[in-house]
Chain A
């Protein structure tokens, strides 16, 4: 099975800040990585697929990069509505596996 290690587990930043979250896969997953945003009481929402492609309708302040085993998710200018928990997930090999999540808060 592929293990996905996400960090940090929590993050506090100010409105307008640049925020970065990383995920490391235990094996090469090429670019088969998704980033989800989950707000309390809601299902996860797809933001980024194929490691770096922005889902239609998602604001351009969200971006993803990386390939192989190292991946990065960035919010270029944090907004109040971005408060949520963010997850990465690999879909290269079953069983799919998720990162542990990053809880993002506003200072």
Chain B
């Protein structure tokens, strides 16, 4: 399995942009056909899929966030990133990154990163 580690500011001011990075270890972000995902979870609440980026760079976003989200890949750093603009308190959550791929007739889901807590507050 690859190992994933989220990082970024723990505190973001309202109306600003949330920027997080997921660093991939024990594997290359650009080799193979992988989907790299962001998922979030407000404290005490359920899980929300934010979006994904394919190894090729193509992306899919949750329509509920699409106007504010950008996911990108930096192959030189073996990282992928999340940017969420115009944040409000409703964006306060634990943010997780994950990876999955298709191989030998099935989908494989590697363990998620441990998550990083982002609080939106002035």
Contacts and interface: CB of A to CB of B under 8 A. Distances in A.
Q: Do A and B come from one complex?
A: yes
Interface of A: 1, 32, 34, 42-46, 49-50, 53, 87, 89, 91, 94-101
Interface string B19-40: 0000000000000000001000
A95 B62 contact: yes
Given A95-B64, A98-B46, 8 more contacts: A42-B114, A44-B47, A44-B96, A49-B107, A89-B47, A94-B60, A95-B49, A96-B37
A49 B114 CA distance: 20
Interface of B: 37, 46-49, 51-52, 60-64, 96, 100, 106-107, 109, 111-115
Nearest to A87: B47
Contacts of A96: 37, 49
B109 A46 contact: yes
Nearest to B106: A50
Contacts of B96: 43-44
